[in-house]
Amino acid sequence: MNDEPIPAAGRTLPPTATTLLLVRHAETVDNAGLRLSGWTDAAISDHGLKQVAAVAEHFNREHGHVSALYSSPLQRARITAEAIGDLTGHTPILLDDLREMYFGDLDGKSFEELREAYQDILQADEDIEQEDFVWPNGESRSGFSERVERVIDAIARRHPGEAIGVITHGGIIAVFMTLLYHESGALWRKWTVPNASLTEVVWDPVSRQGQLVRHGDAGHLEHLTPPSAAEDAMIQTAVSTPET
């Protein structure tokens, strides 16, 4: 995670480029319980409700000028987005393509069970050579990357030169980072972000190039009580388990 501006590596972006303010949803009971949640509609935890209030206040104070808010329809993102919209005056526009990756048969399973019984699947997910990797009865890596690119481009094309709030999931944000840096989707774990954090990208959907301004900024949450032991463990093991 990086709170400092990151240079555009020589890219000159047009004035029609869109500023995307990407917010990961607040902590859920599945996050706290160390469970994999893709399309599982997990509820926000008590700690997550505090994060909702904090990120909404911060977003309104720093980015209340946005032209629109978009959100995943899953309740962990939608509730976070509605709290922001209550302050900014926007009704979130719900898009199915902003949902987390669908993990199929593994959706809802604990990270402990994944490591013990599905280590081969976790290893395949990290294998840069397996671009056709598919979660059992779930979504493929390539299909998810295409979905992320499609929805980000669609939002940006609707709002040239504007700032837009996008409230979504860790997987969406991480895979977008791999697209931004032209990396394999298998490298998404290096781009994981905390719950209720803010990532800012200026994106041109025509050239499909952009500039990362900040990544996983969670400074607005520092006044909250420390995360639970479960959340702390989740952060420490993020490199070996999916971020949802």
Give the model's pLDDT for residue 22. 98
Distance, in Å, from the CA atom of 140 to the CA atom of 186, rounded to the nearest integer, reads 11
Tell me how crowded residue 194 is: count the other CB atoms within 10 A of its CB.
Answer: 21
Per-residue model confidence as pLDDT tens digits over 15-63: 999 999 999 999 999 998 888 889 989 999 999 999 999 999 999 999 9
Give the model's pLDDT for residue 7. 42
Give the model's pLDDT for residue 11. 64
Give the model's pLDDT for residue 236. 41
Per-residue model confidence as pLDDT tens digits over 138-161: 999 899 999 999 999 999 999 999
Check whether domain 18-240 has CATH 3.40.50.1240, yes or no = yes
- Cβ burial of 56 (10 Å; 0-12, 13-18, 19+) is buried
93's tokens: 């526009």
Give the model's pLDDT for residue 221. 95
What distance lies between CA 125 and its chain's CA centroid? 18
Tell me how crowded residue 169 is: count the other CB atoms within 10 A of its CB.
Answer: 24
Give the model's pLDDT for residue 97. 98
Give the model's pLDDT for residue 238. 41
* SS3 label, residue 139: coil
Which of the residues in the chain have pLDDT under 50? 1-10, 229-241
- Cα angle at 2 between 51 and 18, to 5 degrees? 80
